[in-house]
Structure 1
């Protein structure tokens, strides 16, 4: 399952490993839900996935509250649908 692990660098320059919980689409953009591997808490992080030149991908923190709320709403809807099956 190593392919679901990404490493990001925080503000202090520390490498932090995250598990990709899921990816989803909201308003025609792709997002990744990431959970820190080291943190036993339940707080997940949402990042926008952007394709760069050459087929590389970057994950960008969401800084817009409205965009964040839209992604959370899509995520919650998906979780509710999963629970009904």
Structure 2
């Protein structure tokens, strides 16, 4: 996934298209992740998605379901943004 993408559209489990702002993209332990927040919601809770490849080599976004993996990415995200706040 390109680093300059600022918005993505995803289809939720109900088949509804939703727009998300890309907060950041991170590379952790040889995997790529993207952190997004919904555009149309007042809820600014960030969502972490892993960038995987499908059988054709295209990028696909996957929900991080493993608790350990989620915690590693969450900590990296929090560290990144707490450092940005200090500068």
Same fold (TM over 0.5): yes
Deviation at 1:84, TM superposition (A): 2.4
TM-score scaled to structure 1, two decimals?
0.86
* Distance across 2 between alignment mates of 1:81 and 1:53: 37
CA distance, structure 2, for counterparts of residue 83 and residue 19 of structure 1: 19
- Residue 43 of structure 2 is matched in structure 1 by 41
Structure 1 or 2: larger helix share?
Answer: 1
The CA deviation at 1:44 is 1.1
Check the 8 A contact 2:35/2:49 in 1, yes or no.
yes
Q: What residue in structure 1 maps to residue 24 of structure 2?
A: 22
Q: Do the aligned partners of 2:6 and 2:21 also contact (CA within 8 Å) in 1?
A: yes
Q: CA RMSD in A?
A: 1.5
The partner residue of 1:57 within 42, 56, 59 is: 59
Q: Using structure 2 for the length normalisation, give the TM-score.
A: 0.84
Q: CA deviation at 1:55?
A: 4.7
Query: Match for residue 13 of structure 2?
Result: 11
Structure 2, unaligned runs of 5 or more: none
Return 5+ residue gaps in structure 1 as ranges.
Answer: none
Count of matched residue positions in the alignment of Structure 1 and Structure 2:
83
